[in-house]
Structure 1
Amino acid sequence: MSTPTTALSTTSATGPRRRMRRTGILSAAAIAGFALTLGTTTAPVQAAELVPQTESEAEQLIEDRAAEDPDALDRDSVPEGVSVEQAKKAVGKTDELTAADVEYAAAQEDLPASGVPGDFYKTPASLPDEDGALVKQADSDFYLDPVKLIKHDAKSTTFMYKTTDEAGQARAATATLLTPKGDSGDADNAVVIAPGTQGIADQCAPSRQMGMGTEYEGLSVASALASKRPVVIVDYVGLGTEGTHHFVNRVEEGRSVLDAARAVQQVDGSEIDEDTKLQLRGYSQGGHATTAALELQKEWAPELNIASASAGAVPVDLHKTVSGLSSVYTAFALYGVVGFAEQADIDTSDFLNEKGQKMVAETADKCTVEALLSTAFTDGKSLTKNGESFTDIIDEHFTDIVDRQRLGKAEVPDVPLLVNHSRLDDVISFDQGKELASTWCRAGHKVAFEDNLGPTHVGGYVAALPRIETFTTRTFAGKAPLDSCWRL
């Protein structure tokens, strides 16, 4: 695989003219994010209704996002840390990234900051003793587009709470509560969303990005809010707040989800209480976090009233996942090995060469789309000291850590479970989703296994949304979903 070329100089393009053109580009992005950007001139109210409610609408959304012409990309529509040639190559060689995604990532660089004050994320000198205890809260915003034309009418509150990392250290984490307009009184049910991969930089936290209109999970959030129930979106330990975010760390992700569900009950204005039925939901890294939370719930937060769970494209086996990643996803592999190294107290210079260390430093400050673009088609072997693959590095240094992240070994609550996965997923192999569903079936659970033919990892995410909402509505109403165990 060839290495991405050096980014072109953009010094002369960072002024008002570039910003204005980028803003113009983004005015066409009604509901946006990582591989979910729409080219549309729809008015804001109508655009907010573009969340797919049916499978045919989901298919149309997938087609729309792939319709952009990569040859139209130029210096103004590509992130500063990526050359135009890099961007065109990435879009041309993979269906996972589109020209609209590139334009979206570029425009993020010139957007105003989130409405949440930056010092809100600073950890206080002392934290409460109890996990899930509320530390503080602040009013925030939720925009569906980066030019802030489409503000969701749900009330948005970002809050900080206390949790504990895998090493036993007290940590502050953040999350956002969205309450549908007009609701009052206690909520009968609510959805807790564990987000997909955001990056590892603090500015990539969903609570920050929702206020800027750049959160790609905005599509899933808007979909959940359409049913007029409160929604909680988790940031994860070290994402937004101080300290390292350990990418796909089972314990820290699971505790982040569970402690957010505890803390939201203490937020002023929250309609969620101990009686509220909760659905845990997530896709990709979020599916990993959701499954981890289910496995930790009995021990960590047995009092939570979990009514159902939806886990999509779950990386059950990280060794298999990393081994199967194509060079389009070098950034994801780097996130993993860097997190593993910190947990193992190993310096990355022990196995990465100078080029690899430089790429780690560069991707550490980028959110998902830009990180993928800047590392796409980089052969991992070109980043290691001895020409080893990332799989070899994991086998040599991090086997124990990767094994600890393995899912499907622990007991989960006896509630309706949904596993969704595209047969055409190019990031997390379809067999991993089927294996998780089969494991839960063998344990005696009722599992709805919803496969689809959404092209690519992101296509599977979009295609699953209507089925997730149907599953959610049925399970909150006390109706059992269709049981797929007979065919697994």
Structure 2
Amino acid sequence: MTSLQRGSRRRALALAPLLAAVLAIGSSLGAPQAATAATAAVPGDDAIPFYQPPATLPAANGDIVRSEPMTWYLDPLKVTRFPGKATRLLYRTTDNDGQPIAVSGALLVPSTTYTGPGASRPIIGYAAGTQGMADRCAPSRAGGEGTEYESLFVSGLLAAGYAVVLTDYQGLGTPGVHTYMNRRVQGHAVLDSVRAAQRLPGTGLAPNGPVALAGYSQGGGASAAAAELAGSYAPELDLKGSVSGAVPADLAATAKILDGSLYSLFLGYAVNGLAAGYGLDMSQYLNAPGLERLESAKDTCVTDLLSYSFMTSRDLTKDGRPLTEYFGEEPFRSVLADSRIGTIKPKAPALVVHSLADDIIPYSVGKRMASDWCDRGARVTFHTSLVPTHAGGTVPNFVAEMAYLDARFRGWAPLTNCWAV
């Protein structure tokens, strides 16, 4: 382990209480989600010209539409800037129907020389956890304001000498409804963010250098989906491994916990994503207050969590049933089946981390995904965190992530434990 990595671990552990408080609000996920861009603007957000896609997109996925320098702040008072080169990106990717779309993101390249193994600085395709649905919640915008709560984790990766590229996902920053938790679209956005980082001139990054994927919660789902899709969607990437924490691999199981809980807002995010991505007309199922709540959720970030807490969906449906009871019926059943993670063998070794006492995403969900991957012959390391709660599991995930990524870039064989999963 390098001194940079030991320092990163010490900083992460020292910041554990702060991280738990922040991520209790920010890192939680929602439930099912979906796929194609809606055309309506998200209410309450000003249209920033940079994020507006042109009529014609570039030819290939990962191609850059436009880029601009930005300042990435590590605190909301804008006292501490990221000590390196930060670039805001708009790049081409693919939606759930295979159609080209533009997605935004941010690339962070440290100013320090990379001293790790190999000649090329590795790129981490970092998938952020739940941000919200309003365009102002996008990581590339929040980072510019010093309000991106995952900057603490990203800083550790940067301190290790890695470049980090974060996607905003579909419809978060760019026009349309954010397709929250759609595995295919999120996986595409992560993989194409890495392609964009490799193609951006003037960064010093190699076009065929080593790559890894990382994320927690919604980001864990996105990084896991990207790991599954990499072999077919982006086979040219030199993918060394992936780290996926608290993966919502089974959205139906997760949704049942959210309804009527502190995290009710995220169920609203999920339904909005399903409706936008799969063409669902929610007016068939929701009453007037339900439709109003869904619409208003489109203009929220995770900081608005408490305004929607303990909202029960049975009060929002026409027939008084909770939304989770619809999940066994069509079209919801097929949509949720399509969103399942664990059905494709990842291209590279994978670390899966989950808290035994996760209060949002059941531990059994993450463990089953790891087991499904093992059954398909994947090289999986499953790590059980004993720190309780979903937020509490973030720090153990980060500590395990740093050691795992270092070993992958050094070319060490992963110590799989499929026999115990």
TM-score normalised by length of structure 2: 0.87
Rg (Cα) greater in structure: 1
Select the residue among 53, 77, 101 that pairs with 1:123: 53
Question: Residues 211 and 96 from structure 1, CA distance in 2 versus in 1: closer, same or farther, beyond 3 angstroms?
Answer: closer
**Does the alignment pair 1:190 with 2:120?**
no
| Structure 1 residue aligned with 2:407 | 474
Task: Work out the CA distance in 1 between the residues paired with 2:221 and 2:166.
Answer: 15
Match of 1:239, as an amino acid? L
| Structure 1 residue aligned with 2:314 | 381
Give the superposition deviation at 1:412: 1.6
**Does the alignment pair 1:346 with 2:302?**
no
Q: CA RMSD in A?
A: 2.4
**Does the alignment pair 1:226 with 2:156?**
no
CA contact (8 A) 2:344 2:373 kept: no
CA contact (8 A) 2:20 2:392 kept: no
Select the residue among 194, 213, 216 that pairs with 1:280: 213
Select the residue among 264, 268, 286 that pairs with 1:334: 268
Task: Work out the CA distance in 2 between the residues paired with 1:118 and 1:181.
Answer: 29
| Structure 2 residue aligned with 1:393 | 326
Please list the CA deviations of residues 53-99 of structure 1 after superposition, one character each: whole Å capped at 9, or x if unmatched: 14xx656544456789xxxxxxxxxxxxxxxxxxxxxxxxxx9459x
Unpaired runs of 5+ in structure 2?
Answer: 27-46
Give the superposition deviation at 1:422: 0.7
Please list the CA deviations of residues 5-34 of structure 1 after superposition, one character each: whole Å capped at 9, or x if unmatched: xxxxxxxxxxxxxxxxxxxxxxxxxxxxxx
Give the superposition deviation at 1:129: 2.2
Q: Name whichever of 301-310 and 455-464 sits farther off.
A: 455-464
CA contact (8 A) 1:58 1:463 kept: no
Task: Work out the CA distance in 2 between the residues paired with 1:288 and 1:184.
Answer: 29
Select the residue among 197, 204, 209 that pairs with 1:271: 204
Instruction: Determine helix, strand or coil for the equivalent of 1:282.
Output: strand
CA contact (8 A) 1:277 1:307 kept: yes
Question: Residues 181 and 66 from structure 1, CA distance in 2 versus in 1: closer, same or farther, beyond 3 angstroms?
Answer: closer
Match of 2:197, as an amino acid? V
| Structure 2 residue aligned with 1:157 | 87
Give the superposition deviation at 1:483: 2.2
| Structure 1 residue aligned with 2:248 | 315
Question: Residues 139 and 184 from structure 1, CA distance in 2 versus in 1: closer, same or farther, beyond 3 angstroms?
Answer: farther
Question: Residues 300 and 425 from structure 1, CA distance in 2 versus in 1: closer, same or farther, beyond 3 angstroms?
Answer: same
Give the superposition deviation at 1:262: 1.1
| Structure 1 residue aligned with 2:372 | 439
Instruction: Determine helix, strand or coil for the equivalent of 2:56.
Output: coil
**Does the alignment pair 1:148 with 2:81?**
no
Give the superposition deviation at 1:309: 0.5
Percent sequence identity is 39
Q: Which of structures 1 and 2 has the larger relative contact order (alpha carbons within 8 angstroms, sep 6+)?
A: 2
**Does the alignment pair 1:168 with 2:101?**
no
Task: Work out the CA distance in 1 between the residues paired with 2:103 and 2:82.
Answer: 24
Task: Work out the CA distance in 1 between the residues paired with 2:146 and 2:409.
Answer: 29
Q: Name whichever of 351-360 and 251-260 sits farther off.
A: 351-360
Task: Work out the CA distance in 1 between the residues paired with 2:279 and 2:411.
Answer: 47
Instruction: Determine helix, strand or coil for the equivalent of 2:405.
Output: helix
Give the superposition deviation at 1:480: 2.3
Task: Work out the CA distance in 2 between the residues paired with 1:184 and 1:97.
Answer: 34
CA contact (8 A) 1:199 1:367 kept: yes
| Structure 2 residue aligned with 1:367 | 301
**Does the alignment pair 1:291 with 2:221?**
no
Q: Name whichever of 440-449 and 294-303 sits farther off.
A: 440-449
Question: Residues 59 and 228 from structure 1, CA distance in 2 versus in 1: closer, same or farther, beyond 3 angstroms?
Answer: closer
| Structure 2 residue aligned with 1:20 | none
Task: Work out the CA distance in 2 between the residues paired with 1:67 and 1:229.
Answer: 27
| Structure 2 residue aligned with 1:240 | 173
Task: Work out the CA distance in 2 between the residues paired with 1:402 and 1:394.
Answer: 8
Superposition map of 1:399-410 within 5 A: 399-410=333-344
CA contact (8 A) 1:351 1:393 kept: no
